Amino acid sequence: MTAKLAVDAVRNAVARRGEIAGCILHADRGSQFRSRAMARELRRHDMVGSMGRVGAAGDNPAMESFWSLVQTNVLNQQRWTTRQELRLAIVVWIERKYHRQRAQDTLGGLTPIEFEAKLAEPLTLAA
């Protein structure tokens, strides 16, 4: 993977989500995430970069689980004629199924969309 691909992914996320200042991008220690281009892009959007320690595999299981789900639910479902067709299928699956329908134990049984909405609710203080 190149730094350009990773930077383009951040730009795509910013374009889709809008204001993301303070958002944390957690990644492995790949050179594309440690590149100057990525550091510039994170600063440009006031994001925070986060990486695990070398040899610490604690953050890998969640991503391994996610990619296993992509493999099972998208990649293995049919033969894809073009990369664009596969890309669209992955995006549709993530947006329609993974974010909106699949409850996740680590989010207290909520979907990512429900969890994010709950975080965005204004805090009410007891009087």
pLDDT in tens, 59-81: 667 777 888 999 999 999 999 99
pLDDT at 4: 93
Residue 112 and residue 99 in contact, taking contact as beta carbons nearer than 8 Å: yes
Ranges of residues in the chain whose predicted pLDDT is under 70: 55-60, 122-127
pLDDT in tens, 94-106: 989 888 888 888 8
pLDDT at 81: 94
Kindly list the distances between the CA atom of residue 45 and the CA atoms of 1, 23, 30, in Å, as whole numbers in the listed order.
22, 9, 21
pLDDT at 101: 84
Q: How far apart are CA 11 and CA 17, in angstroms?
A: 10
